[in-house]
Structure 1
């Protein structure tokens, strides 16, 4: 079922959904099932599964020269989505990214997803590869999320690569895109960032999932601005609890977000990570209550495949 239909069928009730990471290579599917087992009591209508592009290592040869070798750290998102849908009978939402894919590989992945009965995709540009100063497009791949979005839209209309005739065999994906209540870090200003988001919706994106945030007012302002500019698709807030003091540094650095002073001060006063988890839990529970009062369609939790902290929070809201 499409995300927009799940939201419509909820008739104003706020849903819970979760995002999982593919496990590191060497781990089996049971690691995903262990996480899912912790969360299924909350009856999530869909589960997001991220995609991680290949990385590089440098192999030194006997002559002293270095060879850059591509390798994968995690198993494929398509297979994980299929396993989740088969075992738990919930919809899986795979992430699609530009980096690491050629257009042909993207088309092949979409054909597989359609074959498996997967109805939704989240279209993202993706991050720069580790070690690269900026995002570098894959040769014969897409440089921007709008280009990747257009490829999915084309397939929904029966337009495939290297085929001159429109096919009657088309896909029917419900497409989501990312939103940034605090602005994408590469955008020169919020209005420019917003302009590109509006273009994606005008092209055909049907829902938005936001970057994580810790200030509910930022999300509310973002939604109000969207509505004022005729963006009326569901805007799903992305959420994550603070669990360690280190995250006061790593989260702003990696995700380019602000942590409110009240929250950072409370975490600074904590003596143990258990204390930090308690502070993070209380903060996010309050965030969620405010968001439910605001009428959000879904509370979407970035679990980082560590379901414990998220489970405690959702149990207090369910």
Structure 2
């Protein structure tokens, strides 16, 4: 078990915004340079230049450790780094803090993402003003994603409905102070099926003042090359920077390409399908694929700039640069300056936190924690939602949808964007019984005691190992059932639980003194420490619960205001509790379900 971080209630490395600002101005207040100059110089010199993308982690520890990781990765010498912006400004403070720290502490030029959808003009003004005050000179101007399935959604500010509105506004208010980038879509924007129209929109953004284009992820280099050629033919001559995303896991890769509607060459899918049970091989394949894409674009299309979406992971990015001979193999990477709020630990052991990322219940210490491919779950267009989920009018209708999902009669729910994994077959019948009792499950796993890492159902990680699991369930339950359930769960000493509702009421049987990271999935592999990809704890549960309840609201917005379906979903979101239950005796696989179904 990784024990190099000493946890305490005081968390001395976590600083308030005011303390951060003190350190920011203490270390440096120098501004970054416009990155367009670096992009153009790399193209002129005909040498490969690279930059890194990060996102603000959801937990305090994850953010503190990202600052520490950023120090090591700065010695890989990226041309600049970028930081994503949460929908509606949800990560405003953290995005600004990450960009400012990268500049002041590590001397990195920064590109701050800024989205305008669901952002009032006042929020945009504040973000731009604070960016300038922090010395940030580069903005990636994006529309951002409106609530998925937005037929009945109303924008909060008519000033900003498209990225071009943001580009024009920045140029109007700040002239040429900011270098502005915009997004480009080699396969066409998912909301614009007409590719010619999409190209017109792109040219309009450039004509409005954009300095460069950064592409969405893709996995077919030929498609990107053909698209760049079309851009040039349409008179778009600003630099184009391809976005490269290494594959972290098979599951997250499938989720991302489905979410973004990205095409993948048949050969790549065949290769990945053949190794999907070996996470280590998938990660290695992802590195090789990224290397081959960069080489193809550089050698055959004269593209010199590449933006690597790191997903806050360190190892894959470093291996890509080593394979391209852009970073010396075996070179020691150590932080030049130590962040005053970063915990001290062995960097090589820190990689174990996210060697096998596991979504919302990965290790909350990891800088990559919270990366659920930028999507809490799945909400689809109104017409598709009605076709798949109907127009529920009673709680029983919702309950039946959860049962249909378990039975495979529908392939997704708002919280579950893929069909169930094969291991669910071991508990399929009991899950149906649990749902019929009013416990609507959104996540679960059976207990496993030492299955081979190559097992077709339970296996993960490198070969030659053994994997273990504690049984756990996560579900929604009515406010009329919650008290009786928690009393019953408290009677079993092997059970730990967390429960909360939309209002923020919170219940648990885990005392502050006993609060710890509860590993519910772990693996033992040759030549490695024990790896714990799935951890249940208060921090991760609370980080996830906001997204979980937000999805009730997004589902509600699929239906016309004041309709029976809209009122039903609104009522359920307000009344139901989210509960996570772990049975810690993994050698007794049936006990959790026995307790849940007892009278």
Query: Superposition pairs for residues 67-82 of structure 1, below 5 Å?
Result: 72=90, 75-82=93-100
Unaligned runs of 5+ in 1: 56-71, 158-170
How many Å apart are 1:112 and its aligned residue? Answer: 1.4
2:188 is aligned with 1:156: no
Structure 2 match to 1:310: 317
Structure 1 match to 2:131: 113
How many Å apart are 1:28 and its aligned residue? Answer: 6.2
Unaligned runs of 5+ in 2: 1-32, 327-599
Name the SS of the counterpart of 2:216 in structure 1: strand
Q: Matched residues in 1 for 2:85 and 2:152: separation?
A: 19
Instruction: Tell whether the 8 Å contact from 2:80 to 2:109 is kept in structure 1 after alignment.
Output: yes
Query: Superposition pairs for residues 187-198 of structure 1, below 5 Å?
Result: 187-198=192-203
Q: Deviations over 1:253-302 (max 9, x none)?
A: 22121111111100111131111112212111111111221222311111
Structure 2 match to 1:44: 78
Q: Deviations over 1:12-52 (max 9, x none)?
A: 22211000001114336432223313422321121000011
Q: 1:31 to 1:287 in 2, by over 3 A?
A: same
Structure 2 match to 1:246: 251
Instruction: Tell whether the 8 Å contact from 2:56 to 2:91 is kept in structure 1 after alignment.
Output: no
2:40 is aligned with 1:8: yes
How many Å apart are 1:139 and its aligned residue? Answer: 3.4
Structure 2 match to 1:99: 117
Moved over 3 A (4+): 72-75, 129-136
Q: Which has the higher contact order (CA 8 A, sep 6+)?
A: 1
Instruction: Tell whether the 8 Å contact from 2:84 to 2:95 is kept in structure 1 after alignment.
Output: yes
How many Å apart are 1:135 and its aligned residue? Answer: 7.0
Q: Deviations over 1:56-83 (max 9, x none)?
A: xxxxxxxxxxxxxxxx578531122111
1:299 to 291, 302, 306: 306
Structure 2 match to 1:287: 293
Instruction: Tell whether the 8 Å contact from 1:18 to 1:47 is kept in structure 2 after alignment.
Output: yes
Structure 2 match to 1:83: 101
Q: Matched residues in 2 for 1:298 and 1:180: separation?
A: 16
Query: Superposition pairs for residues 24-39 of structure 1, below 5 Å?
Result: 24-27=58-61, 29-39=63-73
Instruction: Tell whether the 8 Å contact from 1:98 to 1:138 is kept in structure 2 after alignment.
Output: no
Structure 1 match to 2:535: none
Of residues 218-227 and 276-285 in structure 1, the stretch that sits farther from structure 2 once superposed is 276-285
How many Å apart are 1:104 and its aligned residue? Answer: 1.7
> C-alpha root-mean-square deviation of aligned residues, in Å?
2.1
Instruction: Tell whether the 8 Å contact from 2:48 to 2:298 is kept in structure 1 after alignment.
Output: yes
How many Å apart are 1:130 and its aligned residue? Answer: 6.2
Query: Superposition pairs for residues 192-211 of structure 1, below 5 Å?
Result: 192-211=197-216
How many Å apart are 1:199 and its aligned residue? Answer: 0.4
1:276 to 273, 282, 285: 282
Q: 1:234 to 1:134 in 2, by over 3 A?
A: farther
Q: Matched residues in 1 for 2:152 and 2:102: separation?
A: 33
Structure 1 match to 2:270: 265
TM-score, L = length of structure 2: 0.46
Instruction: Tell whether the 8 Å contact from 1:245 to 1:276 is kept in structure 2 after alignment.
Output: yes
Q: Matched residues in 1 for 2:234 and 2:120: separation?
A: 34
Q: Matched residues in 2 for 1:181 and 1:29: separation?
A: 32
Instruction: Tell whether the 8 Å contact from 1:14 to 1:295 is kept in structure 2 after alignment.
Output: no
Name the SS of the counterpart of 2:114 in structure 1: strand
Structure 1 match to 2:24: none
Q: Deviations over 1:112-139 (max 9, x none)?
A: 1112221110000111336856875223
Name the SS of the counterpart of 1:81 in structure 2: helix
Structure 2 match to 1:147: 165
The aligned length equals 289
